[in-house]
Amino acid sequence: MAGESWAREWMEDLAAVWGARPYEQYGCTQRALAWNCPAGAVPDGRRGVLHTLPDHGLYEVVDPSSGKPAVPGEFGELVFTPFFANLSPLVRFATGDGEVGLTFPAFWAMSMRRHMLEYGTRREQVAMVAVKNRRNGVKNDRAQFRKAIDLKEALDSRLVCDPIRVYDCCPATDGAAAVVLGPAEGAGPRAVDLLASVQTTGRARMSDYDELTFFPATVEAARRAYTEAGISPSDLDVVELHDCFTMAEIVDGEDLGLVEKGEGGRAVEAGVTDFGGRVVVNPSGGLLSKGHPVGATGCGQIFEVVRQLRGEHPNQVSGARIGLTHNAGGTQALVSVHVLQGRSSA
């Protein structure tokens, strides 16, 4: 299998560089490695520990009761060495952000506080994102939540991480999406043209950011996408962006150039990003209504925009011709922006 071939190469590279010990002594097969790379840890629900694939100098398997190295073939706890902690940003998250409880709600709560301080954004303006997107989700037959809420409900919902409340958070959701790509020639009038596809990388840890109201990966992805597509933000009719939290829609909208920096809250209040405004943001209901199936979210956004550009969306933006999708992974460690154009006005 392709995965097994990749796993063998990965093991050989580690052995050559780090002097990796044979995995077979831990009872692990190459097939197991192919499926469990690169973390190399498989939760074992029966014993509440991890079955791991240790590398010399990277991490070790220890007996949870004694703290000593586990017997080969036995289950144990995964322990990263200081060397690996310094080597891997992903591991540094576990020994940095994770240690102080800096979860995503906490991160966006700090972003909201900072935006309020620097730009005068009001708490009610942030909550208006939830009201708008929940209202949009009512018409979307594929949304998880299809019930409108008012501003008072949003502001009075259960506190998660001050000032983040339940209606500021997207739900974790099951879902799937697919995109079919083909040659433009002969595709027909219902085809949607891909004008730009850009991917950028950002910081792997929240604590690595110097600024909490600005994310360079989104700014750079947007800049390159607009250049590649030969358009400006003012040419967009519809946008599906990564509203994992209400504050994310405000910050991402600014970083994408949809509104001026610091104006995101006031733009929502004025209806700039709603139907009848300058550009309609998340007419599907966004992640706040549709839910966030993580791996399927990006393709799901493209699906929503394609329906808009074909004039087939249940919450249709009139005359939509050019759309943009924006998806972010983790702490905006990976950002993708796509620009699409329909072949006929919706």
Band (204; pLDDT cuts 50, 70, 90): confident
Band (53; pLDDT cuts 50, 70, 90): very low
The answer on pLDDT for 326 being more than 70 is yes
Which of the following is catalytic: 28, 169, 170, 244? 28
Per residue, what are the HEC states of 148-189? Answer: CCCHHHHHHCCEEECCEEHHHECCECCCCCCCCCCCCCCCCC
- Among this protein's residues, is 37 annotated catalytic? no
For 267-303, how does the pLDDT look when each residue is reduced to its tens digit (9 = 90+)? 999 999 999 999 999 999 999 999 999 889 999 999 9
Which pLDDT score, from 0 to 100, does residue 158 have? 97
Q: What is the mean pLDDT of residues 304-328?
A: 97
Contacts of 76 (CB under 8 A, 6+ apart): 49, 50, 52, 61, 62, 63, 64, 70
For 18-28, how does the pLDDT look when each residue is reduced to its tens digit (9 = 90+)? 333 333 333 33
- Among this protein's residues, is 169 annotated catalytic? no
Separation CA 23–CA 33 (nearest Å)? 9
The answer on pLDDT for 248 being more than 70 is yes
Judge whether 342 and 238 are in contact, CB under 8 Å: no
More confident residue, 220 or 89: 220
Helix (H/G/I), strand (E/B), else coil: 79: strand
Q: What is the mean pLDDT of the chain?
A: 80
Q: What is the share, in percent, of the chain residues with pLDDT greater than 70?
A: 71
Which pLDDT score, from 0 to 100, does residue 80 have? 53
Using alpha carbons, list the distances in angstroms from residue 209 to 86, 111, 282: 18, 11, 26
The class level of CATH for 104-342 reads: alpha beta
The DSSP output letter for 101 is T
- Range list for CATH 3.40.47.10 in the chain: 104-342
Q: What is the mean pLDDT of residues 338-343?
A: 96
Which of the following is catalytic: 51, 242, 292, 313? 292
Separation CA 93–CA 65 (nearest Å)? 26
The answer on pLDDT for 246 being more than 60 is yes
What's the whole-model pTM score?
A: 0.74
More confident residue, 9 or 338: 338
Band (189; pLDDT cuts 50, 70, 90): confident
Which pLDDT score, from 0 to 100, does residue 62 have? 64
